[in-house]
Chains A and B, each alone.
Chain A
């Protein structure tokens, strides 16, 4: 599809210049979208319209632009993106274009190319041979890659409200503890249920507080019942989930009654040690060592889990990826095409995943601490709904609604 934006200015309404130009666009078999229209208030005030024209044929578009130029429609965006070859490995040229998480197009040789795998805070590399534009992180830049520099020839498509689901229309993106949580939980349950039916990908990002608050079983339920398709977390959630599965405790606290178990502080280390001795979580499940919990559910339901490491990790578990750049790259592959992301009680992981999600992925973040939610919103993940809540109570409610109303 070839596109061009034109501007028409003057007394275009009274002169019927605007309808004339729009008629000509349609008569040529092209389509238009009025991006902006400012209509003069007084009779002497001029009006202005910005019209985006799309045509399947480059020739038709060019002829059309010449035709409507006579009536005053001037092309406002002309010129391809400015490409500069990367001069060193692993870094962009100066003045590189930094992406947002919104759908982005670049104009190359007169054609608008969709930027693939778009996510925020990356650069754009254009493969001249294949005419493909790819959103690329800094460390992946190879010498000679043609990198988009400056803003010319770059178009960012804002999210339209109507493309959002009911849940998102309902709440907007504000964070507030003063929200009707039950209503939100119901909407979320409907969204999860719909995603499951329609085969849309749902990713779950979780922190260890899920286990500490006794909600591991609910997440295992979400995995087992097919509501969650990818799990992204750190060493902590997996460790305490396994500790709970093996010893009934989380950080030494018995989850059944909240009492401290004597010598329980060692339990999480024993859990890590057991898994390391077994050769990993997958083997532990396959050999019958690990019989329940979230990690068990993931292995038995073949739901991919990506454990990304951090400097405070005990162990870590054998599946933990300690190279953070590598971990993010793998996470990137798994979040691609995600419809919904549910992030519960995990500040750093939520921010990391929020960074690599395109704006179209609907995101729900749950945390007891309002500042954790603000941190994510402030990163520019404005497609997000924040819910201030205890992880355990929230997940219990969610699963109960799913069992009661949606299954």
Chain B
């Protein structure tokens, strides 16, 4: 995770960001701290931190740094120049922590675990809004894994982790209108237990959840899928992340799972 010391709305690069709808840094810091405490103190997760950098407000969204598997870090190639400056800092962190850092090359946009999520032996990866489909081919070759490409069609759900969240080995949360027909068919065929979240929860970024053991951590206001989770033995833990929603991010965006 990366503390939100320099977080703010400094540009508009997704359907959520409005320069006129500024975030409150004091609130943002408090919300981030609360999330950090839930993860570390309540759920016992070990969280590594990286240093925030002035002028890089979205460095806080570490999920987009790259794709992590074992000691390999496949670094992102951001679509917008506003975020491209984050890459050297992410790369330096992973290098200094003993990871092999690979780049996909500048010709193909790839936004890390914002758009690529592992599920069993497969990686589900999204394209159209941010990552380009060419990155899936290369990622598959690097990881020697099956990479299933899913097309996103709703600009509000511009990364895969805003509308899809694997839960253990059999289930996943997803918001069907975010995907095109082919992607919905692929998901239905590939995942035995697919849980559709409601429109209101999806717009509170219910799918942008952090799963730690049997707890699902999300933004507040996602109550309506609590039953579906408890039926599968999961507990819902909501925490207010409204300041980050103004930037188009929530719980999962604020973290990058290392293992």
Chain A residues packing against B (C-beta within 8 Å): 9-11, 14-17, 19-20, 43-44, 46, 70-72
Contacts and interface: CB of A to CB of B under 8 A. Distances in A.
B110 to A, nearest CB: 13
A72 B140 contact: no
Contacts of A15: 136, 147-150, 182, 186
B145 interface: yes
B149 A9 contact: no
Contact of B145 (A16, A17, A44): A44
Consensus secondary structure, chain A interface? loop
A71 B134 CA distance: 8
Contacts of A16: 182-183, 185-186
Contacts of B71: none
Contacts, number: 58
B144 to A, nearest CB: 5
A43 B145 CA distance: 8
A9 B141 CA distance: 11
Given A14-B148, A15-B149, 19 more contacts: A10-B140, A11-B136, A11-B140, A11-B146, A11-B148, A14-B146, A15-B136, A15-B148, A15-B150, A15-B186, A17-B182, A43-B121, A43-B122, A44-B144, A44-B146, A70-B127, A71-B151, A72-B136, A72-B149
Contact of B133 (A14, A17, A19, A43): A17
Given A17-B149, A44-B146, A72-B149, A10 B182 contact: no
Contacts of A14: 146, 148, 186, 190
Nearest to B180: A20
A17 B182 CA distance: 8
Contacts of A10: 133, 136-137, 140, 147, 149
Interface residues of B, number: 24
Contacts of B133: 10, 17, 70-72
Contact of B134 (A19, A43, A72): A72
A9 B133 CA distance: 10
B137 A72 contact: yes
Contacts of B141: 46
Interface string B173-189: 00000000011011000
A43 B146 contact: yes
Contacts of A20: 151, 182
B128 interface: yes
Contacts of B182: 15-17, 19-20
Interface in B141-163: 141, 144-151
A15 B151 CA distance: 9
A44 B147 CA distance: 8
Contacts of A9: 137
Interface in B91-132: 121-122, 127-128, 132
Given A16-B185, A19-B182, A20-B182, A46 B137 contact: yes
Nearest to B185: A16
Q: Which 6 A-B pairs have the closest CB atoms?
A: A10-B137, A15-B149, A72-B133, A16-B182, A43-B146, A20-B182
Contacts of B147: 10-11, 15
7 contacts: A14-B148, A15-B136, A46-B137, A70-B128, A70-B133, A71-B127, A71-B149
Nearest to A12: B149
Nearest to A20: B182
Contacts of B140: 10-11, 44, 46
A14 B190 CA distance: 9
Nearest to A19: B182
B128 A11 contact: no
A328 B158 CA distance: 68
A44 B128 CA distance: 23
B200 to A, nearest CB: 29
A19 B181 CA distance: 12
Contacts of A70: 127-128, 132-133
A19 to B, nearest CB: 7
A405 B121 CA distance: 67
Contacts of A71: 127, 133, 149, 151
Nearest to A9: B137
A46 B148 CA distance: 11
B144 A11 contact: no
Nearest to B124: A15
Contacts of A19: 182
A224 B182 CA distance: 66
A309 B150 CA distance: 70
Given A44-B140, A71-B133, A11 B121 contact: no
A15 B125 CA distance: 10
A72 B140 CA distance: 14
B91 to A, nearest CB: 25
B247 to A, nearest CB: 26
Contacts of B148: 11, 14-15
Nearest to B148: A15
A73 to B, nearest CB: 9
B84 to A, nearest CB: 21
A17 B151 CA distance: 9
Interface in B173-218: 182-183, 185-186, 190
A18 B215 CA distance: 38
B136 to A, nearest CB: 6
A155 B144 CA distance: 35
Contacts of A46: 137, 140-141
Contacts of B186: 14-16
B239 to A, nearest CB: 34
Contacts of A72: 133-134, 136-137, 149
A16 B151 CA distance: 10
B164 to A, nearest CB: 14
A43 B137 CA distance: 14
A72 B138 CA distance: 12
Contacts of B190: 14
Contacts of B128: 70
A126 to B, nearest CB: 33
Most buried by B among A11, A43, A46: A11
